[in-house]
Amino acid sequence: MTTAGAECFADTRPRVRQHVLDEDQLTRDIATVVFADLVMHPYVEDDDGSSVVDFYGYGVAARRARRDVRQLKRRGLIKAAVARDALELIRFLFKSNTVYATISHDDGGVIFYWKAADMSMEIDVFPAEGFWWSVSNVAHDSYEGSGYSLNTQALKHSLNQFSKEVESVNSNWRNQAV
């Protein structure tokens, strides 16, 4: 049993009636959490039509990315394990201000790609080979790597900096057609 004190919901999440969560009460869908006992809480319509709480403050980019990954899986273009890794990547890296990613499949893997001006980021999720990532000219930093685990702290920082830079140059990016 997990106990979450009311302070973790301070100001932004005060509508949770019960703060003691049992594993059976909790439905975890990678980037969102649905509490069995919510009252009048703002919700997000998920791509399968269900109502889910945007518990971690993820924005539209995360929901779109989750939808795209699920569609790739439904169409048989990626396997369940790759989809699971891609959804975990979204959960760890995307924030409410994250810029939309271009998401595609390649040889059974998933590619996340961001490009703006001279900045770019790419993260590939492979079926058997793990991950490959590249960051170019984001906050005056460029690096790449590969392996079975991601350097999530560095990539999260880079994606946040990338998104902040896009926001500072074009604050209306969310309103543009994708």
As a whole number, mean pLDDT of residues 124-138 equals: 95
Q: What is the pLDDT of residue 141?
A: 94
- The secondary element (H helix, E strand) that includes residue 67 is helix 60-74
Here the tokens at position 14 are: 């005060």
| C-beta of residue 66 within 8 angstroms of C-beta of residue 52 | no
Q: What is the mean pLDDT of the chain?
A: 75
Q: Given pLDDT bands bounded at 50, 70 and 90, which one contains residue 158?
A: very high
Q: What is the pLDDT of residue 58?
A: 62
As for how many domains the chain has, the answer is 2
Q: Are residues 67 and 110 in the same domain?
A: yes
Backbone angles phi, psi at 41, to 5 degrees: -95, 140
User: Is 147 inside any structural domain?
Assistant: yes
The residue type at 148 = Y
| C-beta of residue 136 within 8 angstroms of C-beta of residue 121 | yes
Crossing angle of helices 80-93 and 152-169, in 10° steps, is: 60
As a whole number, mean pLDDT of residues 110-126 equals: 96
Here the tokens at position 175 are: 């309103």
Q: Given pLDDT bands bounded at 50, 70 and 90, which one contains residue 176?
A: low
Q: Are residues 39 and 107 in the same domain?
A: no
Q: Are residues 42 and 67 in the same domain?
A: no
Q: Are residues 83 and 9 in the same domain?
A: no
Domain range for 43: 2-52
Q: Are residues 8 and 71 in the same domain?
A: no
